Amino acid sequence: QPVQPAQSPVTVLGLGLMGTALASALLKAGHPTTVWNRTAAKTGPLAAQGATPADTAADAVAASPLIIVCLTTNEAVRALLAPEAEALAGRTLVNLTNGTPAQARELAQWAAAHGITYIDGGIMAVPQMIATPAAYILYSGSDEAAFETHRPTLEALADTKWVGKDPGLAALYDLSLLTGMYGMALGVAQAFALIGSEGIPAREFAPLLRDWIVAMTDGIVPETAEAIDTDQHLTDVSNLAMNREAYPNFIQAYAEQGLRTDAFEPFQDLLDRAVEEGHGADGLSRLVTLLKKS
Residues binding ligand FVH (CB under 6 A): 14-19, 37-39, 42, 70-72, 76, 79-80, 97-98, 123, 126-127
Strand partners, 45: none
Question: 88 or 227: whose CB is closer to ligand FVH?
Answer: 88
Q: Helix, strand or coil for residue 140? A: strand
Question: 171 or 227: whose CB is closer to ligand FVH?
Answer: 171
Question: 57 or 195: whose CB is closer to ligand FVH?
Answer: 57
Gyration radius (Cα) of the chain, Å: 23
Q: Which residue's CB comes closest to ligand FVH?
A: 16
Q: Which of 121, 110, 136 is nearest to 170 (CA)?
A: 121
Shortest Cβ distance from residue 60 to ligand FVH (Å)? 12
Shortest Cβ distance from residue 28 to ligand FVH (Å)? 18
Shortest Cβ distance from residue 58 to ligand FVH (Å)? 13
DSSP state of 6: G
- Kindly report the backbone phi and psi dihedral angles of residue 120, in degrees, each rounded to the nearest multiple of 5, phi listed first: -95, 150
Find all residues with CB under 8 Å of 171, minimum gap 6, and list them. 98, 99, 100, 101, 103, 104, 120, 122
**Residue 120, number of CB atoms within 10 A of its CB:** 31
Question: 168 or 283: whose CB is closer to ligand FVH?
Answer: 168
- C-beta of residue 134 within 8 angstroms of C-beta of residue 200: no
| Region label for 73, one of left (φ > 0), alpha (ψ between -120 and 50) or beta (otherwise) | beta
Shortest Cβ distance from residue 73 to ligand FVH (Å)? 6
Q: What angle do CA 240, 241, 242 make, to 5 degrees?
A: 90
Shortest Cβ distance from residue 214 to ligand FVH (Å)? 22
- C-beta of residue 83 within 8 angstroms of C-beta of residue 60: no
Question: 70 or 111: whose CB is closer to ligand FVH?
Answer: 70
Question: 80 or 220: whose CB is closer to ligand FVH?
Answer: 80
Shortest Cβ distance from residue 14 to ligand FVH (Å)? 4
